[in-house]
Each structure stands twice: as C-alpha cells, then as structure tokens.
Structure 1
Amino acid sequence: MRHFMIIEAPSNLGLKELQPGVEPGVRLLPEAFRKTGLARDAGISHVISVPAPAYTMDIDPESGVRNADAIAAYSEKLADRVREAVEKDIIPIVIGGDCSILVGNTLGLRSTGKRYGLFAMDGHHDYMWPEYSGTAGAAGMALAIAAGAGHEKLTDIRQLRPYVQEEHIYAYGNREPDDTYEQLIINSRIHYFGLAAIRKQGIKAITSRFLTMVDRDGLDGFWVHLDVDVLDNDIMPCVDSPEPGGLSYREWQETLEPLVASRYFKGMNITILDPTMDPDNRYTRTFSERLAALLRPAVKGLSST
C-alpha cells in the first residue's frame, strides 16, 4: 500500500505578467482543483499548502532572474515539505504554480541525501539560463536550475548543486521550433526527446528505457515534472506560452501510467494550468478528472510494478 498526499504550491514567481498589472493566474490552480474535487476523486485525504510570497515583476540584478531571492526562499520551504513526505515514504503530488516549483521539489529530493531521476514532461524543455531568456522568468529555466546550470543563487541552495544529475534526466515533449533553443539541451547530458522523437521512437520504448536507467544506475527513485502545456493546445489552451500541436490525452496517459505504477515513483508536480484562462472551467475539470483517474489505481494500491 502506497501513501499519497497533495502539497499545494501556488507560486507564480517564475513568470512575467501576461498583461500589464495582472499577475499570472497559475497561483489559483490549487483552489481550482479543490473545486473540481481532485483529491477526493483520486482518493487522497492528506492535503497541505505551502503559501507563496507576493508576486512582483522585479528582476534580480545579481542573477538576472525575476524574483530570484523569493524563489530561493520559497524553494527551501517547499523542499522541506517534499523531503518530509519522501522520508516518510509518502508520495507527494505537488500542485503549482509555475515551473519554478521544480526547484523546490528537486531540492527536497536532494536534501534526503539520496539520488533520484527526473522525467520532465513539458512543451518547452526549460533548459536555459538568463542570457538566452526573453522573460527573465525562472519557469523557463527550471530544468537547467535543477540540473545545476545557472546562477548559484538558485542552483546551489544549501550547497547541494546539482539537485538532479543531467544523465538521470529525461526531457520529454518540447515542440518549440527554434534551433538555438533546442541546441542548448542537445549539448547537455540530458536524455532529450522532442515531440517528433517521441512519435518516431514510441512512448513505450522511451518510458521503458527511463525505468531501466533508474534501476540500472541504482537510483532511489524518480520524480515526474508535468507541465500541462505538453498537451495539445486544442485540449489544453490555458497556458502562458502555447505552441501548436502536443500530446493527445491518450499519449499523455500512455506515458504516465507506467511511471506512476512504478515502485520507483516518488512524486510529481503539475504546473502552468491557468484557471483564469478557462472561464467555464471545462479544460480544468477535464484535466482534473483525467489526473484523478490516473492516480486512483496507485493510491488504492492496485499498482505494484
């Protein structure tokens, strides 16, 4: 029997304003999921919240990252909650928020003193640093920060850099068609699968290789980073940086089912779904229902691979 909990992490510090004077609405996702009944439908009874600092548009002059000091401080708070859960053999499902919460989640794993892998599902690979960023937002740099690339203010919190080794990361789903952007991650040691590569190589082959790597390298488990913009824009348009195309819900489920069912699965975060872009709640409700259905077998102890 595996034990699950939900950690609400309503931080929008890693994004810039989409409209002047209007802060990003991703901070409202935990509240939206409470209304859809995600925890109830998934069978999860333990829910806690880690309140986020107030949003600003300030760019830190030292690191070149928007809200860098606040993100670092928030990452430590979130990391403590993730570490406590994992050390008690509880699987946290962390509801963001923007992708910068990945920093706190991977810091929490690293704080246990063990080694973990990362399966990062994202319509953008987020492996970049300030000089390549047009927004100075940590959300678009989150994977690089977790892997130790970037300013030490965010990459070396508690002197634990890197939070995840590059060779233990699978980046899955990018469809931003920019050669320079893509070359950054190609030049790394991260296992990189853009959308075209996923369709060519096959979902089962990629997830099987990831799980084999976790076992072969003696890792203590892995984390899943799930940015909802990995989904096709037609079925998930409520995101800050939409791109044409993306995974169908069938492909999304085929990817996640073996990961969530694995005995090595230690937690997951969900990011970037902005309820303010979904006035009739239909996209949020559909995603919540599908996520609950995905988690429910594992929560009820029906998965044991």
Structure 2
Amino acid sequence: MYSKRKVCIIGVPMDLGQTRRGVDMGPSAIRYAGLREKLEELNFDVKDHGNIYVSHYHELEESLKNLTAVTEVSKALAIMVDDVIQNGFFPLVLGGDHSIAIGTIAGVTKHYQNTGVIWYDAHGDLNTPKTSPSGNIHGMPLAVSMGLGHEQLTTIYERIPKIKAENIVIIGARSLDKGEKELIKEKNIKVYTMHEVDRLGMAAVITETIDYLKERVDGIHLSLDLDSLDPIDAPGVGTPVVGGLTYRESHLAMEMLAESGLIVSAEFVEVNPILDEKNKTAEAAVALIGSLFGEKLL
C-alpha cells in the first residue's frame, strides 16, 4: 500500500443512514482540520475528488429510513472507489454516517478475492431490517456487506456477499443489540469488546488481529467510526458510548496497522461538527489518519 504513496480523498456528506443531523458536515470538518496538509507532509501524492452528491430529503421506506437515497449514494461511492483503486490510488473515504461503508466495501471488493475488514467501532452495525430497533441503515452496513439485509443494498456491485464473516474483526465494541449478539455467535465473528481491550491491551489486540487476518485475506479495509473513541476524546459523534478507546490506544492501533502494510483502503466516519467542541473530533480523525499513513514522532 504505502509504496504507491498515492491517496485519493472522497467525501460522502451522508446523514440519511440515521436521524441526527449534522454528520453530513463531517467531510468538510475533517478537511478543515488539515487532512490534505497532513498527508502531503508525509510525502503522499494527494488527490481530492471532492464530495459525492447526497440528497437531503428524508423519508421512511419499508421500515428502513431513506433506503432509495442510501442505495443511490452507495452505488455512486462504489463506482468511485473502484475507479480510484484502478488508477493506483489508496481510497480514503470521509463520512458522513456509517452507512457509507456499504458503498466503500462494494468498491474495494471488486479488487480483492478475500477482503478483510477491521471494524473499529463502539457498535457492531450488524443489524438487519428484522433486528433493527430503529430502521437506521447506519446500524446495518457490516451485515449488508455480509449479504444480509435488503436486496437493494446487498446487490450493489452484484457480488454477494462482499465479505465473509471469518474475515471480519470488530474492535472496541461496547454497545450491541440483541440481534447483533446472536449474529456474532451464529457466524463466529471475531470481536474484541472493551473487556478484551482492557484485559489484553491494544498492542496484543492489534497483533492478534493482524495474525488472524494476514493468512486468510489479500487486503484489509479499515472502517473507523469516531465513536469508537471515548466521548472525552471524540465528543462530536451522533451515538457516543462512554467507556471507549482512548486517543493514545487508537494511535497505537493505527501505527501498528501502518507497520503491517496490509491496509488497502480506509474510511473515517460519524464526525458531527454540530455536536463537537472546537472541531476536536475532526482533529482527532486527522491525527489518527496521520498515524495510519506512517506518521511517527521520531
């Protein structure tokens, strides 16, 4: 990945996967926090594709909120991610709510036979229309990518499923719905809850994650929700959960993933400037992206 030194930024100002307004401004907040400058300081060739168009008309469809609009944005994002990879760039996608992962993963998996996914998140995002308590699609993208959910979403870019359950690692989980817990057990998905992170330490968690994935996948996508961090470090998120990962733990995780050389794509999502404190969460996102792309103190 890092030998190419080429990164393409794609903004997805999506707030249709949930009901709390403001997350559509996330890409702008992350850019304003100095993302491009950070990457250029690290000697990357940076291209910014701007933002994908997102309708802001909210509606309820078949118990899922904004299904048609989310589907259309996901298709457009999948096409763009696919194109970016074809042109030799690392796709760095900025959200927006976490429903954007449906499109990102669909585009990435066009280029890999066994894509691994590290889901760095307080939530599992493994709900389906049957198990979701809210109908919010931002709680479903990982399930959709596994081929579980509404056909409009699972069939984007044809391949079903996009990822296998055994190629997923969830890190930082501390809020799971009943249906998600059942699916995790049924599919034997590897999860490091905060209990495991606290007991093992982040260094061991990332080492085990890399060892678990590297022999079974041909590329790893990182999907990082800023609510994985404790609200003290990332207050500007729509669904904060206390008792989260620390800022320093997350830097260590990104640094170790950078050293592995296995990350082929990434997205950073759920930054909500309306709920933030002086752009603190967007600045945390940029700092973590810096670590993911090899930034070190010395």
The 1:179/1:202 distance shift into structure 2, 3 A limit, reads farther
Deviation track 1:159-215 (CA, whole Å, cap 9, x = no partner) reads: 211111111000111112665653332322321111112222332333223322333
Between the aligned partners of 1:289 and 1:72, the Cα distance in structure 2 is 28
2:227 aligned residue: 229
Q: Tell me whether 1:297 sits opposite 2:298 in the alignment.
A: no
Cα root mean square deviation, aligned: 2.2
Shift, 1:281, TM fit: 2.4
- What is the CA deviation profile of residues 64-119 of structure 1, one whole-angstrom value per residue up to 9, with x for unaligned ones? 32111221221111111111222333211110111011000110022235321000
Q: Which amino acid aligns with 1:15?
A: Q
Q: Is the 8 A contact 1:86 1:266 kept in 2?
A: no
Please give the residue correspondences for 1:267-286 in structure 2 after superposition, counting only pairs within 5 Å.
267-278=265-276, 280-285=278-283
* Matches for 1:67-78 after TM superposition, within 5 Å: 67-78=66-77
Does the 8 Å CA contact 1:186/1:192 hold for their aligned counterparts? no
Return the letter of the residue paired with 1:257: E
Counterpart amino acid of 1:72?
A: T
Report if the CA contact (8 A) 1:50-1:78 is conserved: no
**Partner secondary structure for residue 246 of structure 1:** coil
The structure in which a higher percent of residues are strand is 2
Mapped partners of 2:176, 2:143: distance in 1: 19
**CA–CA separation in structure 2 for the residues paired with 1:283 and 1:157:** 31
Unaligned runs of 5+ in 1: 19-23, 301-305
1:9 match? 12
The CA deviation string for residues 197-248 of structure 1, in whole angstroms up to 9 with x for no partner, is 222233233322332233312x221100000000011111211112111000
4+ aligned runs moved over 6 Å, structure 1: none
Instruction: Give how far 1:293 is off.
Output: 3.2
| Percent identity for Structure 1 against Structure 2 | 28
Change in CA separation of 1:260 and 1:88 when aligned onto 2, cut-off 3 Å:
farther
Amino acid aligned to 1:183: E
Note if 1:128 corresponds to 2:136.
Answer: no
Contact preservation (8 Å) 1:41, 1:296: no
- Match for 2:294: what amino acid? P
After superposition, the C-alpha distances for 1:138-170 in whole angstroms (9 at most, x for unaligned) are 101111111111121111223211111111000
Q: TM-score, normalised by structure 1?
A: 0.87
Distance 2:177 2:69 in 1: 30
Contact persistence 2:108–2:265 (CA under 8 A): no
Between stretches 173-182 and 208-217, larger displacement belongs to 173-182
**Distance of 1:275 and 1:120 partners within structure 2:** 22
Alpha-carbon distance in structure 2 between the residues aligned to 1:90 and 1:173: 29
Q: Per-residue deviation at 1:279?
A: 5.3
Give the drift of 1:12. Answer: 1.3
Residue of structure 2 equivalent to 1:36: 33
> In structure 2, which of residues 240, 243, 256 is the aligned counterpart of residue 242 of structure 1?
240
Partner of 1:303: none
Aligned residues of 1:125 and 1:173 also touching (Cα < 8 A): no
Taking the aligned partners of 1:202 and 1:291, their CA distance within structure 2 comes to 18
Distance of aligned partners of 1:292 and 1:227 in 2 relative to their CA distance in 1, 3 Å threshold: closer
Partner of 1:104: 103
CA distance in 2, matches of 1:264, 1:289: 20
CA gap of 1:60–1:260, structure 2 versus 1, over 3 A, is farther
TM-score normalised by the chain length of structure 2: 0.89
Partners of 2:131 and 2:157 lie apart in 1 by 26
Cα 1:30–1:116 change in 2 (3 A) is same
Displacement of 1:296 in angstroms is 4.8
Aligned-partner Cα distance in 1 for 2:103–2:37: 26
TM-superposed deviation, 1:36: 1.8
Taking the aligned partners of 2:207 and 2:292, their CA distance within structure 1 comes to: 19
Aligned partner of residue 61 in structure 2, secondary structure: coil
